[in-house]
Chains A and B, each alone.
Chain A
Amino acid sequence: MDHIYDDLLKKLKQLTETTWKEKISGADITRWSKQFPKSDSAHDNQQLQALFLLSNFIYFGQPEIRELLRSLYRDLYKTPAIHTIRRATANTSDWGILAPAFLEHQRKTRFLGVGNPSESGVHLLYYFRQENSLPKSLFINSHEVFTRDTSTAKPSLQIKDDEIENYIFIDDLCGSGTQAAAYSKEIVEPLRKLKPSVKVHYLMLFATHMGLKAIRDLNRFDRVEAIYELDSTFKSLEQNSRIFTSIDTDFDRLKIRTTCETIGSQLWPEHPLGYKDGQLLLGFNHNTPDNALPIFWVEGTEIGQAWEPIFKRYHKDYN
C-alpha cells in the first residue's frame, strides 16, 4: 500500500506546484487529511481515501477563471453574434464591416448577474468586464431593467431602455437550476411581454446536466449555454463516477462514500454529500460551490464543530 500513498502524495505535490499554486500547500494537505481517522488496514484507511478524493479535486484558480470569463464572452456571446451578422451580410469576411456591426449589436446588449449583488454570480461580472475590457455602461442590475411609469393612474411597468435588444445573464455554476429559475422569473416574463422581440440568454461557466435541462425546460431563455457541462459522471460517488476506473481498483467507491456520508452528516445534515446530492469535486478561486462534498469546504467553527476545510467556502445565506 505504501506505493499508493507515495503516488498520491506525488500527485498532490505536483498539484500544489501547478494549478493549486499559492492556494494549497503541503502543510494544508497534511492538516486537512489528519482529520480523517487513520487505520492500519489499508482498505479502511480513511486518510488515504481522503487523499484520493483530494487528488481528484478540480480547482480553477484565478488565471483559469479569468480565461473562462474571456471564453464566455468571446465564444458564447461575441462569436455567435458575429456569425449572425455575417449570414445577414452575404457572408462577408471583412472585419471592416463585421466589427462596427458587432459594436452596434453590443451597444444594445446588457449583462446582468444572477442573484443578490453580494453573491458570487454578480461578483463574477466585475472580472468578466475587466477581462474583456468592456465599458461599465453595458452592465446593469436587475432593478435597472424596468422603470415605473407613474404618469398614469395605475403605475405600470415599462422597459427602462427600449433600445436594448439583448439581455445576457451570467453565472458561474448552475447546479439544480432552482436558483436561476427563481431569480429570472420576475424579470424575463414581464420583459418578454413588454418587448416580444427581445433576446434573453443565460450563459454559465459550469452547469450540471440536470441544471441545464431544468432551465431549458422553463422555455424562458433564447439561449442557455455553459462552457462546461457536468454530466452524471461528475457525481463522484455514484456508480458511473469518472474517478473510479480500472486503474484505481485500490479504492472502494462504496467505502469512500460511507466515509463522506458519515462525516458529511455532521457537517451538513440536510445535504451530507453536497447541495441536492451534488457530490462534486469542484472549486473555484472565488468560492467553492455547495454542490461539492462538504468535507472539502465546511468551516467547522461556523457550526460548532472542529473541522477545518481545505477549499473553504464563503457560504450563501438563503434567508
Chain B
Amino acid sequence: MATPTRPNPFSITRAVDLNDAQIEELWVTLKAEDDSLAVEFHHPTSKMPAYILGAKGSGKTHLMRHQAFELQKLRYQAEKLAVREGIARDGYIGLYMRCSGLSASRFDGKRQTQELWNDLFAYYFELWVAQQTLALAIELKLDEHPEVDEAVSRAILGLLDRTVDYIPFKLASVKEFFFEKQKNLDYEINNCLLKGGISVEILSTPGSLIFGIPRILANQFAFLKDVLFVYAVDEFENLTSSQQIHINTLYRERENPTTFRIGARTYGVKTYATNSAGETNIRNSEYIELRLDEKFRELRPQYALFCRSLASKRLTTALPSGLNSWKQIEIDNYLANFDAGWKSSSWEMIVDKESSRRPHFVRLQENLANLNGVVSFDEAFEKLRLTAFPLLEKLNLLLFYQKVARRTHPKTALNEISSLARQFIEDDESGTYAQSYSHYSRDLAAQLLREANRPLTYGGFDTFIRMSGGIPRALLTILRSVYEWSIFENEAPFEAGHISLKAQHKGVIDASDWYYNNMRKAGVEGQYVQAAIDRLARLFRISRFGDKPIESSLSSFSIAEENISPKARKILKVAEERAFLHRIKGGQKERNSDEVTAKFQISPMLAPRWDIPMARRGIHPFNAEDFNTIFDPDETSKYAALSTNWMNSVTFPFRKGTAIHHTPAQFGLFDD
C-alpha cells in the first residue's frame, strides 16, 4: 500500500500563485553585478516607457508585481518606513494591471463599426485605469481630509467632457461613479447583438483621466511632487492590433508624471504603430525593451545563483513565512550524477570489457573492410585501443576518421594518434589531442551511452539549470517531474539517499515533452514550428552520432535571414518567439561576404527529445536553400535528400561535396 506522500515541493506555481511576501523573497536574491541592471530590475525610475518581454514562465509577472505598489508597501513596512516617505524616496509608484480583465476580444463585430469599437475600447480603458488609480489614492489615504478630498474630486470630475455634479465630491464616490459607468459599458457591449444596438455616452477623451488624475494628485500632495506614476500593464498579448495601437499612442504621447511599463509574452507585441499622424514607435527612442529570459541566459552566474536559491527556498519552506526563513541547500548532494570524464570509473559499468566487442570497433572493422586492405583491422585495433579509457578510445577513432577523410595515409594516421594519445595520458592533458578532447568529449560520451542503450542524462543540478534556458518556470517543471519519478521509483528524494539517474532522466524527458507541447503556439503555425525544429534536430542528431560529427556539440546554426523564403522567415520568427529557438547574441559578418548572419540555438529544454546537446559550441552555417528545406512548410520535399547528405558526410567513407555547401569556419570542419 502507498503511504500518504508529502506534497511535491516544486509543485507548479506561478507568480500568481505566490502571495506578495513570497515574491519579495524571490527578488531579494536576484542581484545583478551590473548596477544599471539592478536598477531596472528593482526601481523603474526611468520615464522612458519600457516593454518587459518574456517567454511563458520567465518571471515577467514576478518582476512587474515586484515593481508595483502592493510590494512597495511591504518593503517599506519591513524597513519601518512610512509609505509616503518610501514612495518619495524611491521616486515612483507602480500600478499593476492585467489586460485579461478587459476581455478585449469582445470589442468586435456584433453588427457595429470598427470605429465605434475603437472609441469604446479607449473609453473603457480610461475608466479601467482611473478606477485603479483612485483605489490607490484611497489606499494612500489621500482622501483623509474632507476639504482636500473635495478639491481633488472636483478636479478629477472636471477632467470629464461633461459636467458631473450630482455625486458627492469624495474620491470613493468618484471611483464608484466610474465603476458604474464601466459596468454599464460592459452590459451594453455584452448584449448589443441581443438588444440590437449600443447606447453609451462617452464621457472622457482618451488620456484625460489616465494622465490627468496623476497630475492632479502630484500637484496636490507634496510627497508625490517628483514621483513617477508607472502604469504596469501586463498581458499585452491579449489586446488586438488596434487596441495595442491605442496603448502605443498613449505612451508615445504620455504626459508627466506618468509613464508605462508593458508586460507581454515574447510573441505578444503585434505592432509598434500609433494613431499619432501615422508614426511608429522606435526602440530606444520612444521605448526600451527588456527581454527577461534572454537576460537570464546572458547573466549565467547570476541566473544559476537565482535557481539555487529558488530551489532551496522550495525545499526548506513548505509554506514560506518570514523573509529570512530559508537557507541555501547543497542540492547536488541529493542528486546522483554520472562522471563522464575519460578517467571515470563509471564507464566500466557501461561498456564491454573487451575492446574488440565494443560497437565502435565493430564498426571500424566493417569500415576498414571497404578500404581494400590498405590497413588491416588488427593493426588499427592495436594502435587505437585504450581498453581502460573507452572515451579516449572513441576519440582515437574519431581522429582516425578525420585524418582519413583528409587523405592522410591510414598507417600514418594510426601512428600519430597512438603517440598523441599516450602523450595526453602521461602528460595529463596537453597538446592538440587535448584540444580535440575538449571539443568532442561530450559528443563521444553521448555516443558511448547510446551504444550501450543507456539514457543520455548526466544528472546534477547544473544540468537542470542549463536545460531551463533562462526560464525559471521550466526549472521548476524539471524539478517537479524529477521528484515525481523519484517517488514512483520508491526513492526518498531530498530526504535520504540520492535521486537516481533513472528518475532524473525520466523527469527530464517529461519536462521536455511538456515544453514541446505547451510552449508552442496554438494553431497550424505552432505545428509548423514543431515540424521544422523536428527536421532541424534530426539533422543535428545524425551529426552527433555519426562516425565523424560535422561540428562539436551541435545544437546551433547560423543563417542570413534576408536570403530565406518569407514562409521560412515566418516560421523562424514564431520559433524564436515561442522559445523553441534562442537567438544567440552577436550576429556577425561572414568572413568572405557581406552577409549578416543571425545565430540560433535549439532550446536546451527540447534537446533531450532528440538526444542533442544542451550545451552550445559548434554553430552550423546553413545556406538559404537548405534552410528553406528545413523551415519552409512548402519546401520539405527535399528534406530526405538533405538528410541523406548529412548522413553520408558523417558516415565512413565520408563522401565529399554533398551536404555541406558552405565553407565552414569552425574547428573540426573539413575543407574539401
Please say whether the chains A and B touch (CB closer than 8 A): yes
Residues of A within 8 A of B (CB): 10, 13, 16-17, 20-28, 30
Residue of A nearest to B510 (CB): A10
Contact A25 B484 (CB under 8 A): no
Contact A13 B2 (CB under 8 A): no
With beta carbons under 8 angstroms apart, the residue of A10, A25, A30 that contacts B2 is A25
Q: For B2, what are the chain A residues with a Cβ–Cβ distance below 8 Å? A: 16, 20-25, 28
Q: For A13, what are the chain B residues with a Cβ–Cβ distance below 8 Å? A: 484-485, 488
Total count of chain B residues near the partner, CB < 8 A: 12
Contact A17 B484 (CB under 8 A): yes
How many Å from the CB of A285 to the closest CB on chain B? 12
Q: For A28, what are the chain B residues with a Cβ–Cβ distance below 8 Å? A: 1-2
User: Could you give, for residues 456-491 of chain B, a 1 whenever the CB lies within 8 Å of some chain A CB and a 0 otherwise?
Assistant: 000000000000000000000000000011011110
Residues of B within 8 A of A (CB): 1-5, 484-485, 487-490, 510
User: CA A24 – CA B487 in complex, angstroms?
Assistant: 12
With beta carbons under 8 angstroms apart, the residue of A10, A23, A24, A26 that contacts B489 is A26
Contact A25 B489 (CB under 8 A): no
Residue of B nearest to A312 (CB): B1
Total CB contacts across the A-B interface at under 8 A: 32
Residue of A nearest to B4 (CB): A22
Q: 12 additional contacts, CB 8 Å, given A16-B488, A21-B5, A26-B487?
A: A10-B510, A16-B2, A20-B2, A22-B4, A22-B5, A23-B1, A25-B1, A25-B487, A25-B490, A26-B489, A26-B490, A28-B1
Q: For A10, what are the chain B residues with a Cβ–Cβ distance below 8 Å? A: 510
- Secondary structure of the A contact surface, majority rule: helix
17 intermolecular pairs with C-beta atoms under 8 Å apart: A13-B485, A16-B2, A17-B484, A20-B2, A21-B2, A21-B5, A22-B2, A22-B4, A24-B1, A25-B3, A25-B487, A25-B490, A26-B488, A26-B489, A28-B1, A28-B2, A30-B490
User: CA A23 – CA B1 in complex, angstroms?
Assistant: 5
How many Å from the CB of A242 to the closest CB on chain B? 27
Q: For A22, what are the chain B residues with a Cβ–Cβ distance below 8 Å? A: 2-5
Q: For B1, what are the chain A residues with a Cβ–Cβ distance below 8 Å? A: 23-25, 28
User: CA A26 – CA B489 in complex, angstroms?
Assistant: 6
Q: For A24, what are the chain B residues with a Cβ–Cβ distance below 8 Å? A: 1-2
User: CA A50 – CA B191 in complex, angstroms?
Assistant: 57
User: CA A22 – CA B2 in complex, angstroms?
Assistant: 5
How many Å from the CB of A299 to the closest CB on chain B? 14
How many Å from the CB of B516 to the closest CB on chain A? 15
Contact A27-B4, Cβ < 8 Å, known A13-B484, A13-B485: no
Q: For A21, what are the chain B residues with a Cβ–Cβ distance below 8 Å? A: 2, 5
Residue of A nearest to B8 (CB): A17
How many Å from the CB of B173 to the closest CB on chain A? 40
How many Å from the CB of A27 to the closest CB on chain B? 4
Residue of B2, B4, B485 with highest tally of chain A CB at under 10 A: B2
Residue of A nearest to B453 (CB): A2
How many Å from the CB of A98 to the closest CB on chain B? 33
Q: For B489, what are the chain A residues with a Cβ–Cβ distance below 8 Å? A: 26
Q: For A23, what are the chain B residues with a Cβ–Cβ distance below 8 Å? A: 1-2
User: CA A272 – CA B484 in complex, angstroms?
Assistant: 36
How many Å from the CB of A129 to the closest CB on chain B? 26
Q: For B485, what are the chain A residues with a Cβ–Cβ distance below 8 Å? A: 13
User: CA A26 – CA B510 in complex, angstroms?
Assistant: 17
Q: For B488, what are the chain A residues with a Cβ–Cβ distance below 8 Å? A: 13, 16, 25-26
Residue of B nearest to A10 (CB): B510
Residue of B nearest to A27 (CB): B490
User: CA A170 – CA B353 in complex, angstroms?
Assistant: 67
User: CA A24 – CA B1 in complex, angstroms?
Assistant: 6
User: CA A25 – CA B485 in complex, angstroms?
Assistant: 11
How many Å from the CB of B611 to the closest CB on chain A? 14
User: CA A22 – CA B1 in complex, angstroms?
Assistant: 7
Residue of A nearest to B489 (CB): A26
Q: For B4, what are the chain A residues with a Cβ–Cβ distance below 8 Å? A: 22
Q: For B484, what are the chain A residues with a Cβ–Cβ distance below 8 Å? A: 13, 17
Q: For A27, what are the chain B residues with a Cβ–Cβ distance below 8 Å? A: 490
User: CA A199 – CA B2 in complex, angstroms?
Assistant: 44
How many Å from the CB of B39 to the closest CB on chain A? 44
CB-based closest 4 A-B pairs: A25-B2, A26-B488, A27-B490, A13-B488
Residue of B nearest to A26 (CB): B488
Q: For A17, what are the chain B residues with a Cβ–Cβ distance below 8 Å? A: 484
Q: For B5, what are the chain A residues with a Cβ–Cβ distance below 8 Å? A: 21-22
User: CA A141 – CA B2 in complex, angstroms?
Assistant: 35
User: CA A160 – CA B447 in complex, angstroms?
Assistant: 83
Q: For A26, what are the chain B residues with a Cβ–Cβ distance below 8 Å? A: 487-490
How many Å from the CB of B608 to the closest CB on chain A? 13
How many Å from the CB of A250 to the closest CB on chain B? 20
User: CA A136 – CA B586 in complex, angstroms?
Assistant: 78
Residue of B1, B3, B4, B488 with highest tally of chain A CB at under 10 A: B488
User: CA A22 – CA B4 in complex, angstroms?
Assistant: 5
User: CA A16 – CA B489 in complex, angstroms?
Assistant: 12
Q: For B510, what are the chain A residues with a Cβ–Cβ distance below 8 Å? A: 10
Residue of B nearest to A29 (CB): B488
User: CA A260 – CA B670 in complex, angstroms?
Assistant: 60
User: CA A5 – CA B510 in complex, angstroms?
Assistant: 15
